[in-house]
Structure 1
């Protein structure tokens, strides 16, 4: 992939009524170059690393994982962390602008990413290998606005996993937003100073977030508000045998408290039912 040849769009385009944009295919035009360049201000790599600790590294090691496919690499945060921890990593994303930024971030830290531009709904068209784990982090799965798209993507994740592989997928706690009107605290995932990420509109089929940066730049993302039980059900229906859900990296939590849920879905059959 020629990382220098990607078009650098400068404006998001939601049309005359942004609340009508509930389309999976819109994600590429949301992650425009100026937004991607500021994304790490929102994430803050050091702050996020401290917040999540070794949760993902430990979870992968506990399952004997060596080879990881990061399907939503974004600006490369988790790919670089896993490379540093000794995993073999392939970094994929649907946005060429994000992939270019991830490649640049990794080079600055003396790592060379193995990258692939891939739409999850046709993942195995572009990814021709099998992995011990697939990770889909950063609330990325919420970009799929259609139930069929979500099922197709999960089936593609399942197919690229080895027989005993695992999928780790996270999501914002939309149940709290929809049912209790509780806004996220961003204590774990969005750790940047002086950057605001606030819900501008939330209904059962759209969560529109506003991102405000210190230089008065404002961007938006339109996402689907995934409910926790729905995601767990989809994982089981696609074929995952065992799903464990954590709230902000804790297995014991009250549903109204976490900003994020993390689902660890196991492909191999296990006796003893399903954990909450």
Structure 2
């Protein structure tokens, strides 16, 4: 076995997937997936400068259009969006379920002369761990796919809904799993607009209706995996509506045109839409 092979095998073992990785379909397992070594490499996958260029001011414009100032970033990761929003003058609380990611996010913010207010929080019990209400909740970076049970997804959406002010919005994104489940590529073109790093290759290692297992091969020979639930576009919109969100707008790759994008972004509004015609009847 070569040095690279030993390193790759060792990194997979550290993530504790066991002998049959495709059988690991549990929400709580993400804690064992975002080990410290993987968290330390995550920014090489993101490439902050390239991602900022790809996104432009898309999320900043969305938040300002809805009059949002206080933001709860529930999937902070290594802090990319939290730091960008702080630099734009938003009031941000940064939460994540992974202490390794939060530690990296705090260091990243400090290196950019920003101070994160961080909290480790499980989305299913968000209002237990996070106090106060917010104009907007953002759940970005394909993070919602870590929830494997429908009851966990419904509970988390309900927690987001509860922590929002009466006219608040939820912004949530995910990969185009519809295309992946139908045999298409994970990324339509050679380089994506979310994971912009140059020295890492990302590809699905296994895909079925209940699991999308992605492999991350870094140029130093290290290999890591994430097990995620493949969320379909229509399913996510239906869940948001059933939880109580009144209006849902969807975008593809930061544009209103949603034909076959790499990523979907959903904007769900909490504000109650009063139907005067129905009331009159």
Give the TM-score of the pair, scaled to structure 2: 0.91
Q: Which runs of 4+ in 1 moved over 2 A?
A: 180-183, 269-272
Kept after mapping to 1: 8 A contact 2:171/2:265: yes
Q: Hey, which of these two has a bigger chunk of helix by percent?
A: 2
* CA distance in structure 2 between the partners assigned to 1:32 and 1:252 by the alignment: 37
Verify: 1:166 aligned to 2:169, yes or no: yes
Aligned residue number for residue 103 of structure 2: 100
Aligned residue number for residue 4 of structure 2: none
Q: What do the CA deviations read for 1:205-246 (whole angstroms, capped 9, x no partner)?
A: 000000010101000000000000000000000000000000
TM-superposed deviation, 1:149: 0.2
Verify: 1:240 aligned to 2:245, yes or no: yes
* CA distance in structure 2 between the partners assigned to 1:21 and 1:135 by the alignment: 27
TM-superposed deviation, 1:171: 0.3
Residues 128-139 of structure 1: pairs in structure 2 closer than 5 A: 128-139=131-142
Verify: 1:40 aligned to 2:72, yes or no: no
TM-superposed deviation, 1:131: 0.1
User: What secondary structure, in the 3-state scheme, does the structure 2 residue paired with 1:92 have?
Assistant: strand
Which of these residues, 118, 124, 129, is aligned with residue 115 of structure 1? 118
Q: Which protein, 1 or 2, shows the higher relative CO under an 8 Å CA cutoff with sep ≥ 6? A: 2
TM-superposed deviation, 1:181: 2.3
Question: Which has the larger displacement, 185-194 or 198-207?
Answer: 185-194
Q: What do the CA deviations read for 1:163-191 (whole angstroms, capped 9, x no partner)?
A: 00000000000000011422314421010
User: What secondary structure, in the 3-state scheme, does the structure 1 residue paired with 2:182 have?
Assistant: helix
Q: For structure 1, which runs of at least 5 residues remain unmatched after alignment?
A: 1-9
Residues 77-92 of structure 1: pairs in structure 2 closer than 5 A: 77-92=80-95
User: What secondary structure, in the 3-state scheme, does the structure 2 residue paired with 1:151 have?
Assistant: helix
TM-superposed deviation, 1:11: 1.3
CA 1:38 to 1:120, structure 2 compared with 1: closer, same or farther past 3 Å? same
Verify: 1:69 aligned to 2:87, yes or no: no
Aligned residue number for residue 208 of structure 2: 203
* CA distance in structure 2 between the partners assigned to 1:40 and 1:226 by the alignment: 24
Kept after mapping to 1: 8 A contact 2:73/2:92: yes
User: What secondary structure, in the 3-state scheme, does the structure 2 residue paired with 1:35 have?
Assistant: helix
Aligned residue number for residue 234 of structure 2: 229
Aligned residue number for residue 124 of structure 1: 127
Q: How many pairs are equivalent?
A: 262
Kept after mapping to 1: 8 A contact 2:258/2:264: no
* CA distance in structure 2 between the partners assigned to 1:21 and 1:35 by the alignment: 18
Which of these residues, 21, 25, 28, is aligned with residue 25 of structure 1? 28
Aligned residue number for residue 7 of structure 2: none
Aligned residue number for residue 150 of structure 1: 153
Q: For structure 2, which runs of at least 5 residues remain unmatched after alignment?
A: 1-12, 276-281
Q: What do the CA deviations read for 1:122-155 (whole angstroms, capped 9, x no partner)?
A: 0000001100000000000000000000000000
Kept after mapping to 1: 8 A contact 2:148/2:228: yes
* CA distance in structure 1 between the partners assigned to 2:115 and 2:186 by the alignment: 37
Kept after mapping to 1: 8 A contact 2:133/2:165: yes
Aligned residue number for residue 198 of structure 2: 193
